[in-house]
Structure 1
């Protein structure tokens, strides 16, 4: 074969389960090349032989023209001897080797499969499991790598001759589609009653009839079981709320198509693309006036979480009912989603009247993702189905494998191996036994799947978090404790590919501080290796500890007492509503009994929400803050004046992080409470007051950040923490900082809430590991890698007991 060359090509990334081998086969045919392509645990291996320009063209196409669901991270090419081969084939998968490949997320039903689903002449007409190389289950069914049928939960379904023909035909879109199946050989669907007794008739049409009559029907989806009810039936929705023990938090609504979605919420181009794309998250839309849903679907909420069908079963069910469906995870509130059939048999009878189930096992549970469009960009609220386990690329590689265990609420965990950080799907809250079991099982599953044995384990400083206890119980690992708000800022840095240093603003509900108090309104000077607490909201007592999280009126009492030197003004509605307990709570706060000091921005939002009569008691963490933001008048731009004390001083070289040390900048949240109360007494509308509170806090934050940035000589700011899930505050702070010439980093791919801190933990632990490796290897790190930096001591300031707070 004159003039021929042969190359070995290794491709890494999300390249299995996405039609990559058929894609390479088609390229080789197009360019007249011989050789082979196959899977191994590291990705895709290719040997290609032919004319040098054609080989180059194939390699370029592998980099630049990969299938839609693929993500190519790396392509390595090596010249090897020519063999004289004449054909190109898909080789058997190799079961051994480094597990550097990434499993593809589950993908929504593609247009071609949807056409077959509704074509009466097609052999897969109305078959709920139609899929091809461009769509269908991936992560939730994978049990082992490389990604081949024996390594999935489809292993127990032998292909019929027709499916086998498609599977082996290079010209068919089901060529090497691992979940390929049909009614003759694939999973089957059935409807059963709450007691497990089969219900006769077509399962989908009968389930729709039950829904039409007000029943709660559990539906087995891709990553777990959901509970469905007719979204227009108030009685059915109320029944679902009672059974789930979820009195107030909004439900997501399944719309049949974009037209129906547009009747529920206001769509823009970005939200429409998200709804109709391959990932199919729940998208939070501005609720349309007169949206055809029952009041209890999202009581008092300006937003509505809407999703479109993402499996053939969902398409069939939505079409059969022909009106919106509530679709929510099949669990009691705050517990993880039910995904195992035996578990469903125990936990669903008290929740559902009937169960629409199938016999394809779910290996990895995966809840629905939630996304919101903020300032024209998709922003993750909950990262799960359709996104996980797609990796985040770290700015620099981790020398050793790292596990980040995450926090207590909205838990995720994260595995880092090299530059690849694999963030788990949303696990949920860990304050229940099922939650802790789901967390531990998930860590074991992901470590096993990707062949990662963590050598370094990062965890939150809080000693009583289940994730912390899990980390401390692991044998033969190096533990790294990462302060909660440092993890928030580090997650923002890692997502944006930045090492720091930055001024980090971390506003959230609670986080264990290095001084043992409850932090949550933090201004840090930070990089990936350390931080200094350069500012914060001045602390107030948190009367009753965690009881103050559930009862925002307690924070109103604490802030009013701090604002008026213990003399709470008379005639306030919040006092009247809680008169029987108000004096006791004030005494508790004054004596410091079970009343830890807190700088939490979330608790300040709670206090103002209670003052305005928005909410005295919450059903879920953050509810009062969400409702306060939605109350705010968008036309109001002025804010209450807030005292900002400081600035920090500059130490000689070697003092603190980047020369910044105490005294800190203090933001006087009590000034906001005084402003709110003054307007209340003047009869100003609550919507105006809510807006002025937001803009006052934003302006004070901008002032504090500017002082710290100027002192530290920094020009970049990172915004993180659950409070920045509030687009009004996020926008006002971002605009204010940008106007003053500061560069602002925010979250988009990873949640700003606690769903992102495991990534931050991993980024910090990996950076510290790089520093240690540099010290023990080639000496002190140089300036070429700004992420390799001597770890700064985590310090707190001595000013947390300010007398005015």
Structure 2
């Protein structure tokens, strides 16, 4: 029986209360020795008759930790007569700091305990909750390497910090009203509003004010439901659905919630969960869709704010333009939000790493961010250190080294200098935390993307090897890198033939995928202009007299319509696309439910909402064989929808269109799987968030007897691309290709 030795525990063991856990376990078992943080490793030197039981318990970890390995080696070194927590030291950086954690129930109880030390304190936290990623500057994770270093602990906090019996024992974020960060309420010009900040802000919100609120990873803009229209007008987003933060009872009142969704809402991440409304027409000022994004209060500040509000619900949207980085600095908030908000509720703790709210729907991650990221995935991609710079839209970055891939929180749309700068900042800070030096940089195949240019510049600086990865192949690589048929359905991605892809079926395994099927290549008149005005997309797919007559009846003047017709006829300024998203846009335009896109994905989302009350029927599918590929005719599908507009309800046509489109592309995949004897069919792409489309594909695949794969660990949209790029590049190198 072993009674003494050194124990090395590797994994996510920083910022998860691991040293206090080791200390308490040692006390319970009568062990003596030491514990020390070493980067992403905790090293224990212990002695006692319960040594083997001690190792067993340590191997289970804490609720927030993730253990990669536990190694025990013999040691004759003397140990102290007691058990001691030693100062941290530099060491391995194979692990990573965990994501920010919602305030735990015990801390919520503390802030509402009359006469308690934490009564009414907005930044209350303990070893089990509070900010992590948003405040860390370097590893090992100790207070002096976080933004809490600016707030020296008072005597009472120091006492709890050093008390093994306290749940704030070695809680690096410990603070109270006497020594911790402070709140302030400001006018947009930066001057202070008189009164207690939280009480005053709550009163102002109840009376219709719009208030910017600085949280864990950036600013939100908040208002009551009654003020939502005013807020949308000020932001220039009249149609975009907004998320809400509400009490548990209010969320139950307005939305349908499954047990799994309720568990997610209340879990450590506390993400926004997109839920179906009980009444699809309710809360239309907030969301005109049949769904609404809901989250519970997740910080002590939120809980205190709601305790003072009479309204049980607040609109809570990120204080930045769509696709741009979150605002984190108070001065910047005053400068940029002055025309949009009435007041600014802020604090003086620096946000080191910005982090937007995560979004989940039907168990599928839409935005990988606060609470869920940084995300760390065990995988074997070889010995090289790989950076995946991601796509253009909904971007993030991933870094692989030493058997693990770490994916950053959501960055945004890399179409502008601020978001490009944020992408670079995210790469630099994540690499610093991981101690990463890049051997390989994987990037999107599109030569004009800003992220592609950045990858090229970084490769020149570092000498790293560049690996371009086609957008949709990265989607499938993230979902299932092994042998399979892969279905990628999304908006747009640069294809290997120079056209725009987006409705693709591949066969093979990473890094050898063959394009075996796709949606019909159609015209996008004016390129990106067709994404903003989906009626252009409709005419590009159906350039017929009947379509022109429909547009004319909707107010298109003869000159504009004539230009569009000549543009299509002469193939001038035309982009060719097989995008699923663009076909759904055209269907929304045909049915007249969305004639102009004002936010990303609007036509397809409005089409989905339109279809909810409808009854779906499966129409005939028309397939074309060309160059060994099977092509689903989307022009025939739209023509069929057009022919039914005089006799059928719009909702029924919308529902049938979605069902037939989904079934058709699934049938291509099933035919390919049977022809090539593949057992697995994987689905990825942003269109898969559409419940009706995803369900139709799943049913078709399962009915055929094949295994259906849907990646729920990463976003189905472009938030999985950087990870897929790493998988593609690493597998390519391992196979010597």
After TM superposition, is the score higher than 0.5? yes
Provide closer, same or farther for how the CA distance between residues 273 and 574 of structure 1 changes in structure 2, counting only shifts above 3 A: farther
- Contact residue 264 and residue 304 of structure 1 kept, 8 A: no
Alignment of 1:552-563 (within 5 A): 552-561=534-543
- Contact residue 129 and residue 187 of structure 1 kept, 8 A: yes
Alignment of 1:727-742 (within 5 A): 727-742=691-706
The residue aligned with 2:528 is 546
The residue aligned with 1:47 is 45
- Residue 36 of structure 1 aligns to a residue whose secondary structure is strand
The residue aligned with 1:625 is 604
1:331-362 deviations in Å (ceiling 9; x for gaps): 13332110123432432323321111111111
Q: 2:103 matched to 1:121?
A: no
- Contact residue 5 and residue 81 of structure 1 kept, 8 A: no
In structure 2, what is the Cα distance between the partners aligned to 1:212 and 1:400?
55
Provide closer, same or farther for how the CA distance between residues 760 and 243 of structure 1 changes in structure 2, counting only shifts above 3 A: same
Q: Give 1:527's match in structure 2, choosing from 494, 509, 522.
A: 509
- Residue 177 of structure 1 aligns to a residue whose secondary structure is coil
Provide closer, same or farther for how the CA distance between residues 84 and 224 of structure 1 changes in structure 2, counting only shifts above 3 A: closer
The CA deviation at 1:84 is: 5.7
- Contact residue 2 and residue 52 of structure 2 kept, 8 A: no
The residue aligned with 1:798 is none
- Contact residue 519 and residue 665 of structure 2 kept, 8 A: no
Unaligned residue ranges in structure 2 (runs of 5+): none
The CA deviation at 1:569 is: 5.4
Provide closer, same or farther for how the CA distance between residues 251 and 269 of structure 1 changes in structure 2, counting only shifts above 3 A: same
The residue aligned with 1:79 is 74
The residue aligned with 2:689 is 725
- Contact residue 523 and residue 575 of structure 2 kept, 8 A: yes
Structure 2 length as normaliser, TM-score? 0.97
Q: 2:309 matched to 1:321?
A: yes
1:261-303 deviations in Å (ceiling 9; x for gaps): 111211221111111111100011111228974x3211x2100
Q: 2:671 matched to 1:668?
A: no
Alignment of 1:450-529 (within 5 A): 450-474=434-458, 475=461, 476-493=463-480, 499-529=481-511
Q: 2:342 matched to 1:353?
A: yes
The CA deviation at 1:747 is: 2.1
- Contact residue 213 and residue 219 of structure 2 kept, 8 A: yes
- Contact residue 539 and residue 547 of structure 2 kept, 8 A: no
Provide closer, same or farther for how the CA distance between residues 588 and 19 of structure 1 changes in structure 2, counting only shifts above 3 A: same
Q: 2:169 matched to 1:189?
A: no
The CA deviation at 1:85 is: 4.0
Decide which moves more: 221-230 or 572-581.
Answer: 572-581
The residue aligned with 2:263 is 273
The residue aligned with 2:203 is 209
The residue aligned with 2:417 is 433
- Contact residue 399 and residue 769 of structure 1 kept, 8 A: no
Provide closer, same or farther for how the CA distance between residues 39 and 328 of structure 1 changes in structure 2, counting only shifts above 3 A: same
The residue aligned with 2:32 is 34
Unaligned residue ranges in structure 1 (runs of 5+): 494-498, 648-661, 773-790, 792-805
1:384-431 deviations in Å (ceiling 9; x for gaps): 00011131222x233211111111111111111122111111111122
In structure 1, what is the Cα distance between the partners aligned to 2:531 and 2:551?
20
User: RMSD across aligned C-alpha pairs, in angstroms?
Assistant: 1.7
The CA deviation at 1:590 is: 2.2
The residue aligned with 2:714 is 750
In structure 1, what is the Cα distance between the partners aligned to 2:222 and 2:259?
28
The CA deviation at 1:82 is: 5.3
1:17-63 deviations in Å (ceiling 9; x for gaps): 11111111111112221111111113211112122xx2222222222
- Residue 297 of structure 1 aligns to a residue whose secondary structure is coil
- Residue 554 of structure 2 aligns to a residue whose secondary structure is helix
Alignment of 1:119-518 (within 5 A): 119-231=113-225, 233=226, 236-256=227-247, 258-289=248-279, 293=283, 295-298=284-287, 300-323=288-311, 324-373=313-362, 378-394=363-379, 396-474=380-458, 475=461, 476-493=463-480, 499-518=481-500
The CA deviation at 1:579 is: 4.4
In structure 1, what is the Cα distance between the partners aligned to 2:391 and 2:236?
23
1:547-586 deviations in Å (ceiling 9; x for gaps): 011111011111212xxxx443575367634344233212
The CA deviation at 1:372 is: 1.0
- Residue 121 of structure 1 aligns to a residue whose secondary structure is coil
1:193-217 deviations in Å (ceiling 9; x for gaps): 1111111111011111221222211
The residue aligned with 1:699 is 663
Decide which moves more: 175-184 or 338-347.
Answer: 338-347
The CA deviation at 1:672 is: 0.9
The CA deviation at 1:240 is: 1.6
The CA deviation at 1:718 is: 1.0
Q: 2:54 matched to 1:58?
A: yes
In structure 1, what is the Cα distance between the partners aligned to 2:351 and 2:254?
31
In structure 2, what is the Cα distance between the partners aligned to 1:444 and 1:438?
10
- Contact residue 539 and residue 548 of structure 2 kept, 8 A: no
- Contact residue 13 and residue 40 of structure 2 kept, 8 A: no
- Contact residue 413 and residue 758 of structure 1 kept, 8 A: yes
Decide which moves more: 621-630 or 172-181.
Answer: 621-630
The CA deviation at 1:769 is: 1.8
User: How many residue pairs end up in the alignment?
Assistant: 732
The CA deviation at 1:435 is: 1.3
The CA deviation at 1:637 is: 4.1
Provide closer, same or farther for how the CA distance between residues 534 and 80 of structure 1 changes in structure 2, counting only shifts above 3 A: same
In structure 2, what is the Cα distance between the partners aligned to 1:582 and 1:403?
47
Q: Give 1:568's match in structure 2, choosing from 538, 543, 546.
A: 546
The CA deviation at 1:641 is: 1.0
The residue aligned with 1:802 is none
- Residue 105 of structure 1 aligns to a residue whose secondary structure is coil
The CA deviation at 1:12 is: 1.8
